[in-house]
């Protein structure tokens, strides 16, 4: 971004990423914006722009993460419109995508790393043979990694290509449902101790999850069906000692699903939520250090 003269003092400012740079009338770069011009209209507008760009980049990443977690087909026409935006492109570039047929099924054999989207030419990818090709389709699927066959091989290939995904996909941890499970609640992450309930709820919100009625929640979609994973944290007052409880999955009507009916994406994301929260518990070594 070019230099812009401030309204007073002979200074010029510019925006570099999220940082406002400043130079004096002689053209010498300064370490920081002088206090006497911090309220200058030009400086204020640049700082507001920097805040907006940071927020926009975060929101783009969150939206792409939602498409991935819910394994929703995304129209190529939409991707073509947002691709020129650097924030959207950064979130989408190098994700593994697959063309979606008219009947809604994804052709995973033609999957590849997204490199370009054009309204007329379609989506440009590097396929799994290392060739640059164009996909002629109306929608693309951004598959959850638990749906990808030979995930370890894909990860190795991504390293060879120098792929860097801003939105976690290939290197996102996945959990797979055991072959034989019964009941409606998964107890693998129960009895995790937190000195105060507010420590657990704060961790949940920091990780991007909602907390309601003593549970942290993760909205999900599996095969077009709206679901919700719920992990018990506790419902006492915020300063009370708390212990984690069961992880369960519910449909849109609040009915608990038998564990054997939970699909691969819903299981992986629900267990991922529980594992991330459980990792913040107080362990025996921590308690001894506090004494």
Please write down the HEC assignment for all residues of 139-174.
Answer: EEECCCHHHCCCHHHHHHHHHHHCCCCCCCCCCCCC
| 274 domain-assigned | yes
| 63 domain-assigned | no
> Rounded to 10 degrees, what is the CA torsion of 48, 49, 54, 58?
100
Please state the domain count of the chain.
3
Instruction: Supply the pLDDT for residue 283.
Output: 87
Please tell me whether residues 49 and 96 are part of one structural domain. no
Instruction: Supply the pLDDT for residue 285.
Output: 63
Instruction: Supply the pLDDT for residue 291.
Output: 43
Which single residue is written with the structure tokens 């090709």?
133
Give the integer Cα–Cα distance in Å for 214 and 86. Answer: 39
Give the integer Cα–Cα distance in Å for 7 and 41. Answer: 7
Residue 243 near residue 234, CB atoms below 8 Å: yes
Domain that holds residue 243: 193-289
Give the integer Cα–Cα distance in Å for 191 and 277. Answer: 12
CA pseudo-torsion sign 130, 136, 141, 142: positive
Give the integer Cα–Cα distance in Å for 71 and 193. Answer: 33
| 176 domain-assigned | no
**Tens-place pLDDT, residues 55-87:** 999 999 999 999 999 888 899 999 999 999 999
Give the integer Cα–Cα distance in Å for 262 and 17. Answer: 43
**Tens-place pLDDT, residues 25-35:** 888 888 889 88
C-alpha distances in angstroms, 99 versus 81, 108, 139, 155? 18, 8, 6, 20
Please tell me whether residues 78 and 133 are part of one structural domain. yes
> Rounded to 10 degrees, what is the CA torsion of 230, 235, 237, 241?
-80
Give the integer Cα–Cα distance in Å for 165 and 150. Answer: 18
Please tell me whether residues 75 and 125 are part of one structural domain. yes
| 180 domain-assigned | no
Q: What is the band of 266 on the pLDDT scale with cuts at 50, 70, 90?
A: very high
Please tell me whether residues 271 and 240 are part of one structural domain. yes
Tell which of 161, 184, 206 closes a domain. 161
| 230 domain-assigned | yes
Residue 261 near residue 255, CB atoms below 8 Å: no
Read off the pLDDT of each residue in 104-111 and give the average, rounded to a whole number: 88
Give the integer Cα–Cα distance in Å for 269 and 169. Answer: 12
Q: Does residue 281 carry a pLDDT above 90?
A: yes
Quick one: which of 141, 125, 56 has its CA closest to 93?
A: 125
Read off the pLDDT of each residue in 99-105 and give the average, rounded to a whole number: 88
Tokens, residue 212: 């309601």
| 178 domain-assigned | no
| 279 domain-assigned | yes
| 186 domain-assigned | no
**Which H or E element spans position 143?**
none
Please tell me whether residues 205 and 277 are part of one structural domain. yes
pLDDT averaged over every residue in the chain = 91
Instruction: Supply the pLDDT for residue 287.
Output: 52
Q: What is the band of 289 on the pLDDT scale with cuts at 50, 70, 90?
A: very low
**Looking at residue 239, what DSSP letter applies?**
T
Please tell me whether residues 30 and 80 are part of one structural domain. no
């Amino acid at each position: 971004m070019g230099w812009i003269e401030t309204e007073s003092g002979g200074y010029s400012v510019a925006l570099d990423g999220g940082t406002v740079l400043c130079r004096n009338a002689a053209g010498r770069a300064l370490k920081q914006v002088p206090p006497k011009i911090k309220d200058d209209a030009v400086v204020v507008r640049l700082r507001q722009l920097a805040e907006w760009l940071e927020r926009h980049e975060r929101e783009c990443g969150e939206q792409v993460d939602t498409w991935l977690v819910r394994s929703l087909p995304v129209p190529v026409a939409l991707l073509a419109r947002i691709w020129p935006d650097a924030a959207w492109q950064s979130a989408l570039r190098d994700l593994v995508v697959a063309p979606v047929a008219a009947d809604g099924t994804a052709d995973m054999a033609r999957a590849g790393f997204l490199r370009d989207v054009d309204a007329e030419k379609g989506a440009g990818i590097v396929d799994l043979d290392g060739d640059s090709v164009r996909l002629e389709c109306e929608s693309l699927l951004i598959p959850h990694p638990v749906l990808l066959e030979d995930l370890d091989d894909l990860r190795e290939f991504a390293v060879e290509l120098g792929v860097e995904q801003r939105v976690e996909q290939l290197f996102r941890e996945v959990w797979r449902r055991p072959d034989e499970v019964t009941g409606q609640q998964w107890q693998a992450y129960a009895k995790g101790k937190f000195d105060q309930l507010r420590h657990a709820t704060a961790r949940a919100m920091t990780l991007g999850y909602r907390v309601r009625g003593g549970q942290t929640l993760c909205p999900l979609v599996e095969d077009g069906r709206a679901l919700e994973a719920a992990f018990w944290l506790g419902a006492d007052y915020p300063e009370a000692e708390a212990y984690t409880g069961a992880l369960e999955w519910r449909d849109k009507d609040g009915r608990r699903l038998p564990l054997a009916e939970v699909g691969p994406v819903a299981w992986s994301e629900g267990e991922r939520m529980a594992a991330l929260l459980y990792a913040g518990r107080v362990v025996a070594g921590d308690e001894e250090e506090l004494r």
